[in-house]
Amino acid sequence: GEDVEQSLFLSVREGDSSVINCTYTDSSSTYLYWYKQEPGAGLQLLTYIFSNMDMKQDQRLTVLLNKKDKHLSLRIADTQTGDSAIYFCAEFRTGKLIFGQGTTLQVKP
């Protein structure tokens, strides 16, 4: 398909790990990104991964990339209530950032 796809909603308990999945479209995409959007705010770049990497870790965040399946995931360890937000994945394609529709992460205390 032509769209970057994500599941719409994920609910976890505080302290658990969260895994947000994304399927992108273009196997030649060079960079893939994860953004966080809190209510009433713009998007904040969380992390990105270059297409020749399989994994990237940054503190509580781990990005996994499966190029064969065009699948990207974001794992948040020890999820906190402050992690509640909408998470967007994006691929860099034809000179543009193409976003998924966003996954709302709800963290229950």
User: Could you say whether residue 27 binds another protein (CB under 8 A)?
Assistant: no
Binders in 42-61 for another protein, by CB under 8 A:
42-45, 48, 50
* DSSP per residue, 8-70: SEEEEETTS-EEEEEE-S-TT--EEEEEEE-TTS-EEEEEEEETT-SEEEETTEEEEEETTTT
Write down the least CB distance from residue 98 to another protein, Å: 8
Amino acid type, 105:
L
Binders in 62-101 for another protein, by CB under 8 A:
88, 92, 95-101
Residues that bind another protein (CB under 8 A): 30-31, 40-45, 48, 50, 88, 92, 95-102
